[in-house]
Amino acid sequence: MLDTAVGHARAADARLGLRAGSAVRAFYAPGCAPAWTTPADSLNADAYAALRLLARAAEYGLPADYASAALLALRDSLRRPAAPDPRARQLARLEIGLSDAVLRFMHDLHRGRLHPDVEPSRASGVGEQWQPAAGLRSALSQNQLGKAVLSGQPANREYRQLQQALARWLARPGSLDSAAVRRAQYETAALNLERWRSQAWAPVAEYIFINLPAFELQVVAFDSVRQRHRVIIGKPVTPTPTLISSAIHYFTLAPDWHVPHSIATKEMLPQLKRDPGYLSVNNLELYDDRGRWRNPYSVRWAAVSVQNFPYRIRQAPGCENALGNVVFRFPNPYSVYLHDTPARQLFAQPVRAFSHGCVRLAEPLALAAYLLRREGRPVRLPSEAECARQPQPRDVRLGRPLPLFVRYATCVGEGGRLRFFADVYGRDEALRQALFGAVARR
């Protein structure tokens, strides 16, 4: 059945209904020994274990279409008598059908259903490429089927906690919520597991995780949360970008603020056209493109436009500086950073999407102290009053940069339970339709 000498492999796969044909051929090469059936024309213990595992696909946020009706019908047909030749063909179709289902399940757990041809970023550059067929064959010889099938999942704490919470949620009786509400909750958890399959990071012992919909920063070390901080993120029109991977290399005490060009031209220029005194009132200074100070009253602002703005605006350190008392720097292509803010009353709001894209942090000096403690350095940070009085910015370089990840997760697992957050940037629906609209096509 798997022989492609008489035709193209794709045509052979279509004829057999295989969706992981190349992996199935790799699994049976070179000897084509049966893996799931016995000489007595029945399924072995591994086959029944595999079918039970496939029936639990919903626990991993995947549609329950791996153990298809056709595959189960082949299984049930073994109970009926048949001549030797038809029975041999039945067993062969059941063999390759079950292998196809298991390998497809493994593939989807590893890469997700929506990007089947893209290797996850967590796997790039880490040893050899994941090989499900070889892993499955080895596992069957060692009675480790379940471990092998689930081995390709993301290993990061956030994925594991969400998957385990979803499995517990499904095991509990339905609540008083309607079936539609329960289905929507399940899909939200599932689509976030799908996100993690393509966006999880390779395991690291210690890191910072910012979850945008949760408006929260977590400092995670050795699989436990050591610190939590409220954050303010970008408005929906200026969303904070997610970051595959970065790291905090240093922080600056009493920073000055170099106003981004977009803010200077779109928000400050109209104010300057009305009143050049806007700068001094807000502790801002004007410089030309050669770095020379300019008197804003000497500029003919009526002739300045968004397209022709040859100036730079800087805000000196101080109590009203937009960056507050400290800013944390990490490499990224978006020119965003993590910083304090003088507008601390906004941290009391439940929905905190107010910034231009950077992340504002509550209790930032507590994070600075953590960064110093993990390096064994004396923690001597200035008070907020001392920061405000400090005339010059001061960089504090880290000997051990701390990895930082920014993600978008509208459902997480905490304490074994599902926790949902508002879809502040409206990203869930497209993913929901792509994932659950694709069920019939798989």
Residue-wise pLDDT tens digits, 339-351: 999 999 999 999 9
Task: Give mean pLDDT, residues 44-57.
Answer: 94
Q: Could you confirm whether 358 is annotated as catalytic?
A: yes
Query: Chain centroid to CA 226: how far?
Result: 20
> For residue 364, with 0-12 CB atoms within 10 Å meaning exposed, 13-18 middle and 19 or more buried, which class applies?
buried
Instruction: Please determine, for residue 125, whether its predicted confidence score (pLDDT) is greater than 60.
Output: no
Query: Chain centroid to CA 387: how far?
Result: 35
Residue-wise pLDDT tens digits, 276-289: 999 998 889 999 98
Residue-wise pLDDT tens digits, 301-332: 999 999 999 999 999 887 778 898 899 999 99
pLDDT tier at 119, thresholds 50, 70, 90: confident
Residue 66, pLDDT score: 92
Cis peptide before 333 (omega within 30 of 0): no
Instruction: Please determine, for residue 71, whether its predicted confidence score (pLDDT) is greater than 50.
Output: yes
Residue 136, pLDDT score: 94
pLDDT tier at 157, thresholds 50, 70, 90: very high
pLDDT tier at 83, thresholds 50, 70, 90: confident
Higher per-residue pLDDT: 177 or 43? 43
Instruction: Provide, rounded to the nearest whole percent, the portion of the chain with pLDDT above 70.
Output: 95
Ranking 74-88, 164-178, 414-428 by mean pLDDT, the lowest is 74-88
Task: Give mean pLDDT, residues 87-98.
Answer: 89
Instruction: Please determine, for residue 378, whether its predicted confidence score (pLDDT) is greater than 50.
Output: yes
Task: Give mean pLDDT, residues 428-434.
Answer: 94
Average pLDDT, the chain: 90
Task: Give mean pLDDT, residues 164-181.
Answer: 86
Q: Which two tokens stand for residue 234?
A: 């970008």
Catalytically annotated residue among 110, 358, 387, 411: 358
Instruction: Please determine, for residue 413, whether its predicted confidence score (pLDDT) is greater than 60.
Output: yes
Task: Give mean pLDDT, residues 357-383.
Answer: 91
pLDDT tier at 29, thresholds 50, 70, 90: confident
Instruction: Please determine, for residue 439, whether its predicted confidence score (pLDDT) is greater than 50.
Output: no
Look up tokens 């290797």; give the residue. Answer: 119
pLDDT tier at 110, thresholds 50, 70, 90: very high
Residue-wise pLDDT tens digits, 206-222: 999 999 999 999 999 99
Task: Give mean pLDDT, residues 118-138.
Answer: 76
Task: Give mean pLDDT, residues 282-297.
Answer: 92
Q: What is the spatial distance between Cα 442 and Cα 431, in angstroms, rounded to a whole number?
A: 16
Residue 441, pLDDT score: 38
Q: What is the spatial distance between Cα 413 and Cα 407, in angstroms, rounded to a whole number?
A: 15
Residue 388, pLDDT score: 65
Higher per-residue pLDDT: 106 or 321? 106
Q: What is the spatial distance between Cα 367 and Cα 242, in angstroms, rounded to a whole number?
A: 20
Residue 176, pLDDT score: 65
Catalytically annotated residue among 107, 110, 339, 387: 339
Ranking 36-50, 170-184, 191-205 by mean pLDDT, the lowest is 170-184
Residue 269, pLDDT score: 94
Residue 287, pLDDT score: 95
One-letter identity of residue 51: L
SS3 for the chain is: CCCCCCCCHHHHHHHHCCCCHHHHHHHHCCCCCCCCECCCCCECHHHHHHHHHHCCHHHHCCCCCCCCHHHHHHHHHCCCCCCHHHHHHHHHHHHHHHHHHHHHHHHHHHHCCCCCCCCCHHHCCCCCCCCHHHHHHHHHHCCCHHHHHCCCCCCCHHHHHHHHHHHHHHHCCCCCCCHHHHHHHHHHHHHHHHHHHHHCCCCCCEEEEEECCCCEEEEEECCEEEEEEEEEEECCCCCCCCEEEEEEEEEEECCCEECCHHHHHHHHHHHHHHCCCHHHHCCEEEEECCCCEECHHHCCHHHCCCCCCCEEEEECCCCCCCCCCEEEECCCCCCCCEECCCCHHHHHCCCCEEECCCEEECCHHHHHHHHHHCCCCCCCCCCHHHHHHCCCCEEEEEEEEEEEEEECCCEEEECCEEEECCCCCCCHHHHHHHHHHCHHHC
Residue 440, pLDDT score: 39
Residue 124, pLDDT score: 54
Higher per-residue pLDDT: 21 or 414? 414
Ranking 35-44, 132-141, 180-189 by mean pLDDT, the lowest is 35-44
